[in-house]
Structure 1
Amino acid sequence: MADLHELKISRLIDAPREAVWRAFTDHLAEWWCPRPWTVEIVEQDLRPGGRSAMIMRGPNGEESPQDGVYLEVIPLERIVFTDAFTHGWEPAGPFIVGILDFADEDGQTRYTGTARHWTAEAMQQHEAMGFTEGWGKVAEQLEEVARRIA
């Protein structure tokens, strides 16, 4: 298999998979960014080809708009998204293909987040931006929400 330039985290979340899935589908704004950052969900059309648009905001007034599309959605199992396209399949400057997997494991949920990059340089840049710490913190926040709504 070709080098996919992947970064990956995996966490065992102490909540049933249905609650973790609902945390994504219904409560995304509560956990998607590491605090103190926040996110405003502009659109979440959770289907293949559907738009994913949000604005991440930092504590010092930073704004980072994110626009992309969902490539694959398998309820309770997998969500694949990319910023390589915006709504209407308009090409954009690609950074990642994100893959979120949800699986049952001993009454809990195995959550795996994968970021695939077009180049080794983009992967290294993402790693230097704090991928492991950031995506790990987000997984902790996801667990908080999933446990609350379970």
Structure 2
Amino acid sequence: MSADTSTGGSEPNLATVETPADEAVIRIRRSFAAPRALVWRCYTDPVHLVHFWGPHGATNPVCDLDLRVGGHWRQVMRFPSGNEYGYTSAYLEITPPERLVWRDAPDSYRFGDPLPPAGMVTELTLAEDGSRTLLSVIVRFTSLAARDESVTRGFATTVLEGSEKLDAYLETLAADAAR
């Protein structure tokens, strides 16, 4: 696995992806030219989340959030081919406006089924840097093999493309606010 892959050239929104050889994690960092409170709203309000979640070309016909510890997050991404990928997550920690932690969950969790052991836990942290927001995402897997399989399936690329879409969406919001 690559120790550090960077995209985006030298502009301030440079995104980095790290897949350490000895740790079952993916680390992604990116900077946004937007206040932390706005970036937080984008990640915690389905009205905003549907505009950027997933890779280029994907839409989000389903985005259901129960934003509380123990609450669920149900997302369905639709790809240009018409194929859909749905998943459910459970919130483990919510610290506005700086930290969200969630884990994978079976879809039946929304209806009261207990959670099996987590296959993947995601920690999202937002930090203020002047007028910018620094995003840090750490995704922890149960094993290096599980992490590597996720990378092979394009997980990190999907997250990076989603952050590119978020950057463009934040620019749209800023332009709308300036009118």
| TM-score, reference length from structure 1 | 0.88
The answer as to whether partners of 2:77 and 2:85 remain within 8 angstroms in 1 is yes
1:68-107 counterparts in 2 under 5 A? Answer: 68-84=89-105, 86-87=109-110, 88=112, 90-92=114-116, 94-107=118-131
Q: Choose which of 57, 67, 82 in structure 2 pairs with 1:46.
A: 67
Matched, 1:8 2:32: no
Partners of 1:55 and 1:92 in 2: CA distance: 21
Name the counterpart of 1:35.
56
Give 1:42 deviation, angstroms. Answer: 4.2
User: Sequence identity, in percent?
Assistant: 32
RMSD: 1.9
Name the CA shift for 1:76/1:147 in 2 (closer, same or farther; >3 Å).
farther
What residue identity is the alignment partner of 2:140?
R
Structure 2: unaligned runs, 5 residues or longer: 1-21, 175-179
Matched, 1:111 2:122: no
Structure 1: unaligned runs, 5 residues or longer: none
What residue identity is the alignment partner of 2:60?
V
Q: What stretches of structure 1 move > 6 A for 4+ residues in a row?
A: none
36-45 or 51-60, larger mean C-alpha shift: 36-45
Q: Choose which of 36, 45, 53 in structure 2 pairs with 1:17.
A: 36
The answer as to whether partners of 2:88 and 2:105 remain within 8 angstroms in 1 is no
What residue identity is the alignment partner of 2:74?
A
Q: Choose which of 120, 127, 134 in structure 1 pairs with 2:158.
A: 134
What residue identity is the alignment partner of 1:33?
G
The structure with higher relative contact order (CA 8 Å, sep 6+) is 1
Query: Which protein has the larger Cα radius of gyration, Structure 1 or Structure 2?
Result: 2
Partners of 2:23 and 2:68 in 1: CA distance: 24
> Aligned pair count?
148
Give 1:124 deviation, angstroms. Answer: 0.3
Question: Could you say what secondary structure the match of 1:11 adopts?
Answer: strand
| TM-score, reference length from structure 2 | 0.75
Matched, 1:62 2:83: yes
